[in-house]
């Protein structure tokens, strides 16, 4: 055990737990080894401030620091700062920052002890589930930029995007609902206590108490009716006006009739009424509502281009560079975009070599190079050196923004008939009919008192409480199970929608291909002898691409080199066996500047071009098994913004009737999905980039596939972690099972209703009977749904 621990200590980074590649890593301090300078620096900073406790709560609590840091100068601009902070006065500022790196108790400890690192931090509080830190600091001593730099330095870089600046659609507050549940629960408990004497039977001399208990009960029923249940009346009224009967109509009707009958009985002193039934009913259905609205995660599903864009961009001025807010960017401004930064507005390239990665916008996975004077559209990511551009269109008019604000991309009303919605149309009509028929029969029979009793009893006992609970409890249990398997569904309705899907559409780049792993491809012709030559040359290079090529060639026998010259960033010239071999970039081997691509390696032998290697993203693990599992029961299609480069490989994976469409623009994708929907298919779209955003919204179910769920993903109904991609068929099967559970629990609650109704129509229902039957049916349905959902989850191997 101890030997194992020692081994682990020496091969992984003390800070982040990443494997240390080189045998003799230069990063070593106090007997600890680190994978990179970043991790070591964080350790050093913490040790200097006597904060080693960070490493005591968890082993390797840090996040790898290998990624490059972004430019933060925009945080010096007062008008940007003003929009980011929650509160600001002369010497104090409070800001809430989203910190994706928060993942363990050490993170909480460190972030809440920021004051040890810097005196100017007065207090900091972490909300672990939301990955947010609320920090109070003295803004005179510590600027926001310093604060963010401090956080970045210790490995907790906050994510600040344009969406933080343009704060829209604040979080929904469900405190109101909790308050209503509290009131209903309070009334329920008390009225039940006051009803017990009646249920257990009272002697004749105790009857004078009965009136007192009755009035008390009525008193508890009033706030339940007027406050706790008010939403149901509003919703029922709205739905009647719309002539679409939803489940709230019979609920509201039932609640109102219970109250009416209770009031009549208590005031006329003819009976105890049903106050406890009323309170318990409202209490249970409100809990069902709360369960339905509860979310298990704090991932935003409504992200748009604003969260993809940076807050500010560097504008090159006379003499000095200045960060400017994206919204204040003017036509004619000269901007500088560094490596890995995003071009925020359509602009003309003025200086530097631009190689733009547009994969997020168009789905085209190849890096495009632009020459001077060419227009670069907003949304592209610069790879390589810093470039300078002149803005030609304001941000709001840019190609990307326009695309987003396009009419066809607007929010679609997702018209989806849930099972409960479907049932409630007939339920209300059936219920009222039975009540009226029972009342009429008793009236004709000459017993008006019984007619009133039967009429109200039917509406009370058949109140679809259990039915109203079955769907939220089943679906939210399903939601949390999917959550645990890294499929984050927006709401319960989306789970039900998932079960109805019969057509699945995939995007290619980033969705079925993984951005993390890649494979070598060779285009051109290589003889067996050429392979030997290339192998001999690449074997001597430590460049990662050379290693990939050696792996791809898998030759053994090696030739002796007579000359070898490796030029950094360009390629290799070597002589062997009487031939001159050139291996490297296009400009190095061919001499042409066009079509630069960092991942392409050209090969020439004695000046004759043989072809090139290119590094392509490889398919996600389990793609063919996923496709195979979906083959039965689902129509499968592919919509790619990329060219047909790898169409043949995909045709081999996808079944015969599938349509594989390439070179699709974002609008094309949207119209395609629309066309399939017009054929009566329930379409599920899987995509990842902005180019899929329209299709994701238009589809009946839009699933964004992302390898880092904290990163940007377009607006959608569900976010799937790329690691769980191979489990997709099981998720869909499970969603179908969840709907099956709803159907079964509907049958159960209907059975209870029929038993209750058979008593109710005779006008002989006692309050005690109602007070027992109602909670029993509720408890049965809730426990059935929870057990059945778990059972199905286990059967689908999800728990």
Partner 1 sequence: MNIIFFLIGCSILIALIFLGAFFWATRTGQHEDTYTPSVRILFEDEISQEGAKEETRKA
For 189, 385, 617, 773, the CA distances from 192, given in Å and listed in that order, are 5, 74, 65, 14
Q: Which of 128, 552, 564, 671 binds partner 1 (CB under 8 A)?
A: 128
By C-beta, is 28 or 53 nearer to partner 1?
53
Residue 133's φ and ψ, nearest 5 degrees, are -125, 130
The residue range among 104-112, 151-159, 448-456, 745-753 that interacts with partner 1, by the rule CB under 8 A, is: 104-112
For 174, 302, 546, the CA distances from 171, given in Å and listed in that order, are 9, 11, 50
The residue range among 182-190, 313-321, 447-455, 665-673 that interacts with partner 1, by the rule CB under 8 A, is: 182-190
Which tokens sit at 185?
């629960």
Beta 683-687 vs 701-706: how paired, if at all?
Answer: parallel
With tokens 């999905």, the residue in question is 673
| Residues 32 and 79: beta-carbon distance below 8 Å | no
DSSP state of 122: E
By C-beta, is 108 or 576 nearer to partner 1?
108
186 binds partner 1 per the rule CB under 8 A: yes
126 binds partner 1 per the rule CB under 8 A: yes
Q: How far is the CB of 195 from partner 1 (least distance, A)?
A: 13
Mark out the alpha helices in 154-301 (DSSP H runs).
162-165, 175-200, 207-223, 230-241, 248-267, 275-293
User: How many residues line the site for partner 1 (CB under 8 A)?
Assistant: 29
For 331, 337, 642, 680, the CA distances from 164, given in Å and listed in that order, are 24, 21, 32, 40
Binding mask 148-177 for partner 1 (x = CB under 8 A): ---------------------------x--
Number of H helices, E strands in the chain: 29, 28
Which tokens sit at 677?
């929907």
Distance CA 156, CA 15 (A): 13
Q: Which of 6, 29, 37, 182 binds partner 1 (CB under 8 A)?
A: 182
28 binds partner 1 per the rule CB under 8 A: no
The residue range among 65-73, 181-189, 427-435, 662-670 that interacts with partner 1, by the rule CB under 8 A, is: 181-189
121 binds partner 1 per the rule CB under 8 A: no
| Residues 80 and 74: beta-carbon distance below 8 Å | yes
By C-beta, is 177 or 667 nearer to partner 1?
177
By C-beta, is 184 or 225 nearer to partner 1?
184
Q: Which of 127, 374, 577, 708 binds partner 1 (CB under 8 A)?
A: 127
The residue range among 47-55, 577-585, 610-618, 717-725 that interacts with partner 1, by the rule CB under 8 A, is: 47-55
179 binds partner 1 per the rule CB under 8 A: yes
| Residues 688 and 507: beta-carbon distance below 8 Å | yes
Residue 643's φ and ψ, nearest 5 degrees, are -85, -175
Which tokens sit at 788?
């059945």
Evaluated on CA atoms 423, 427, 430, 434, the torsion sign reads positive
Q: Which of 216, 441, 561, 733 binds partner 1 (CB under 8 A)?
A: 216
Q: Which of 10, 28, 52, 244 binds partner 1 (CB under 8 A)?
A: 52
By C-beta, is 57 or 662 nearer to partner 1?
57
The residue range among 190-198, 406-414, 635-643, 668-676 that interacts with partner 1, by the rule CB under 8 A, is: 190-198
Q: Which of 42, 108, 258, 696 binds partner 1 (CB under 8 A)?
A: 108
726 binds partner 1 per the rule CB under 8 A: no
Q: How far is the CB of 63 from partner 1 (least distance, A)?
A: 18
Which tokens sit at 343?
């071009």
Q: Which of 29, 129, 222, 754 binds partner 1 (CB under 8 A)?
A: 129
Q: How far is the CB of 178 from partner 1 (least distance, A)?
A: 6
Q: Which of 105, 396, 624, 764 binds partner 1 (CB under 8 A)?
A: 105
Burial class (CB in 10 A: 0-12, 13-18, 19+), 716: buried
130 binds partner 1 per the rule CB under 8 A: yes
Beta strands (DSSP E) in 23-179 are 28-29, 32-33, 87-88, 93-98, 121-127, 132-137
By C-beta, is 126 or 501 nearer to partner 1?
126
Distance CA 701, CA 496 (A): 10
Burial class (CB in 10 A: 0-12, 13-18, 19+), 210: middle
Distance CA 602, CA 613 (A): 6
Q: How far is the CB of 52 from partner 1 (least distance, A)?
A: 7
Q: Which of 7, 37, 178, 386 binds partner 1 (CB under 8 A)?
A: 178
782 binds partner 1 per the rule CB under 8 A: no
Binding mask 192-211 for partner 1 (x = CB under 8 A): -xx-----------x--x--
Distance CA 632, CA 738 (A): 20
By C-beta, is 52 or 592 nearer to partner 1?
52
Helix (H, G, I), strand (E, B) or coil at 28: strand
Beta-carbon contacts of 602 under 8 Å, excluding residues fewer than 6 positions away, are 571, 582, 583, 584, 585, 586, 588, 589, 590, 609, 611, 612
Q: Which of 11, 28, 53, 562 binds partner 1 (CB under 8 A)?
A: 53
256 binds partner 1 per the rule CB under 8 A: no
487 binds partner 1 per the rule CB under 8 A: no
Residue 372 CB neighbour total at 10 angstroms: 12
Q: How far is the CB of 771 from partner 1 (least distance, A)?
A: 19
By C-beta, is 112 or 555 nearer to partner 1?
112
By C-beta, is 50 or 632 nearer to partner 1?
50
Q: How far is the CB of 216 from partner 1 (least distance, A)?
A: 7
The residue range among 102-110, 245-253, 717-725, 753-761 that interacts with partner 1, by the rule CB under 8 A, is: 102-110
By C-beta, is 52 or 396 nearer to partner 1?
52
592 binds partner 1 per the rule CB under 8 A: no
Q: How far is the CB of 51 from partner 1 (least distance, A)?
A: 9
Q: How far is the CB of 55 from partner 1 (least distance, A)?
A: 11
50 binds partner 1 per the rule CB under 8 A: yes
Q: Which of 6, 91, 141, 212 binds partner 1 (CB under 8 A)?
A: 212
Q: How far is the CB of 196 from partner 1 (least distance, A)?
A: 12
Helix (H, G, I), strand (E, B) or coil at 572: strand
86 binds partner 1 per the rule CB under 8 A: no
223 binds partner 1 per the rule CB under 8 A: no
Residue 151 CB neighbour total at 10 angstroms: 22
Q: Which of 101, 183, 285, 615 binds partner 1 (CB under 8 A)?
A: 183
By C-beta, is 130 or 145 nearer to partner 1?
130
By C-beta, is 101 or 601 nearer to partner 1?
101
Distance CA 686, CA 506 (A): 5
| Residues 129 and 108: beta-carbon distance below 8 Å | no
Residue 682's φ and ψ, nearest 5 degrees, are -95, 105
Distance CA 483, CA 475 (A): 12
Of residues 408 through 437, those in contact with partner 1 by CB under 8 A are none
Beta-carbon contacts of 204 under 8 Å, excluding residues fewer than 6 positions away, are none
Tell me which residues touch partner 1 (CB under 8 A): 50, 52-53, 56-57, 105, 108-109, 112, 125-130, 175, 178-179, 182-183, 186, 189-190, 193-194, 206, 209, 212, 216
């Amino acid at each position: 055990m101890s030997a194992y621990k020692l081994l682990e200590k020496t091969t992984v980074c003390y800070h982040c737990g990443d494997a240390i590649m080189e045998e003799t890593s230069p990063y070593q301090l106090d007997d600890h080894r680190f994978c990179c300078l970043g991790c070591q620096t964080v350790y050093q900073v913490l040790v200097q401030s006597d904060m080693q406790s960070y490493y005591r709560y968890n082993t390797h609590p840090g996040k790898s620091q290998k990624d490059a840091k972004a430019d933060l100068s925009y945080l010096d601009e007062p008008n940007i700062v003003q929009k980011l902070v929650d509160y600001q006065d002369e010497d104090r500022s409070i800001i809430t920052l989203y910190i994706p790196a928060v993942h363990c108790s050490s993170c909480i400890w460190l972030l809440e002890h920021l004051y040890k690192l810097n005196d100017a931090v007065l207090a900091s509080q972490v909300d672990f589930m939301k990955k947010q830190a609320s920090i109070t600091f003295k803004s005179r001593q510590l600027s926001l930029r310093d604060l963010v730099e401090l956080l970045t330095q210790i490995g907790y870089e906050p994510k600040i995007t344009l969406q933080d600046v343009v704060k829209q659609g604040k979080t929904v507050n469900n405190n109101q609902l909790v308050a209503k549940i509290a009131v209903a629960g309070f009334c329920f408990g008390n009225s039940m206590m006051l009803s017990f004497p009646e249920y257990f039977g009272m002697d004749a001399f105790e009857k004078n108490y009965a009136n007192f208990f009755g009035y008390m009960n009525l008193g508890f029923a009033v706030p339940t009716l007027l406050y706790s249940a008010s939403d149901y009346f509003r919703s029922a009224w709205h739905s009647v006006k719309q002539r679409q009967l939803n489940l709230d109509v019979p609920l509201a009707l039932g609640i109102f009739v219970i109250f009416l009958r209770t009031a009549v009985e208590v005031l006329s002193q003819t009976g105890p009424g049903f106050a406890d039934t009323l309170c318990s009913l409202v209490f249970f259905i409100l809990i069902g509502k709360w369960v339905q609205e509860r979310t298990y995660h704090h991932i935003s599903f409504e992200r748009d281009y604003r969260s993809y864009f940076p807050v500010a961009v560097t504008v090159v001025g006379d003499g000095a560079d200045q960060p400017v807010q994206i919204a204040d960017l003017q036509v004619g401004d000269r901007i500088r975009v560094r490596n890995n930064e995003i071009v925020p507005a359509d602009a003309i390239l003025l200086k530097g070599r631009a190689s733009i990665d547009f994969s997020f916008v168009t789905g085209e996975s190849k890096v495009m190079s632009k020459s001077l004077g060419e227009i670069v559209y907003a949304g592209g990511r610069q790879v390589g050196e810093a470039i300078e551009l002149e803005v030609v269109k304001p941000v709001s008019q840019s190609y990307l923004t326009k695309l987003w604000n396009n009419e066809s991309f607007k929010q679609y009303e997702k018209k989806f008939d849930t099972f409960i919605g479907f049932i409630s149309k007939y339920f209300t009509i059936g219920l009222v009919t039975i009540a009226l028929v029972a009342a009429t029969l008793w009236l004709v029979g000459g017993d008006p008192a019984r007619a009133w009793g039967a009429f109200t009893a039917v509406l009370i006992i058949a109140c679809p409480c259990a039915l109203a609970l079955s769907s939220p409890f089943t679906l939210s249990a399903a939601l949390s199970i999917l959550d645990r398997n890294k499929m984050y569904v927006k709401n319960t309705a989306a789970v039900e929608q998932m079960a109805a899907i019969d057509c699945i559409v995939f995007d290619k780049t980033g969705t079925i291909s993984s951005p993390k792993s890649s494979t070598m491809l060779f285009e051109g012709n290589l003889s067996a002898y050429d392979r030997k030559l290339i192998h001999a040359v690449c074997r001597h290079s430590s460049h990662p691409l050379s290693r990939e090529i050696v792996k791809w060639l898998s030759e053994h026998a090696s030739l002796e080199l007579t000359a070898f010259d490796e030029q950094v960033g360009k390629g290799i010239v070597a002589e062997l066996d009487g031939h001159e071999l050139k291996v490297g970039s296009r400009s190095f081997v061919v001499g042409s500047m066009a079509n630069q691509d960092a991942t392409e390696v050209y090969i020439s032998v004695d000046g004759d071009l043989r072809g090139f290697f290119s590094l392509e993203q490889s398919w996600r693990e389990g793609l063919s098994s996923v496709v195979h599992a979906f083959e039965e029961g689902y129509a499968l299609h592919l919509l790619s913004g990329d060219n047909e480069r790898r169409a043949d490989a995909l045709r081999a994976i996808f079944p015969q009737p599938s349509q594989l469409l390439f070179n699709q623009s974002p609008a094309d994708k949207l119209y395609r999905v629309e066309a399939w929907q017009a054929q009566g298919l329930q379409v599920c779209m899987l995509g990842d980039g902005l180019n899929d955003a329209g299709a994701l919204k238009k589809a009946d179910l839009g699933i964004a596939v992302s390898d880092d769920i904290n990163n940007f993903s377009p607006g959608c109904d569900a976010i799937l972690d790329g690691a769980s991609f191979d489990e997709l068929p099981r998720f869909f099967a499970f969603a179908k099972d969840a709907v099956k559970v709803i159907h079964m629990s509907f049958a159960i609650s209907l059975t209870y209703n029929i038993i209750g109704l058979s008593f109710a129509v005779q006008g002989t229902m006692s309050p005690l009977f109602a007070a027992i039957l109602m909670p029993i049916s509720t408890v049965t349905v809730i426990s059935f749904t929870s057990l059945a959902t778990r059972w199905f989850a286990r059967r689908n191997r999800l728990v």
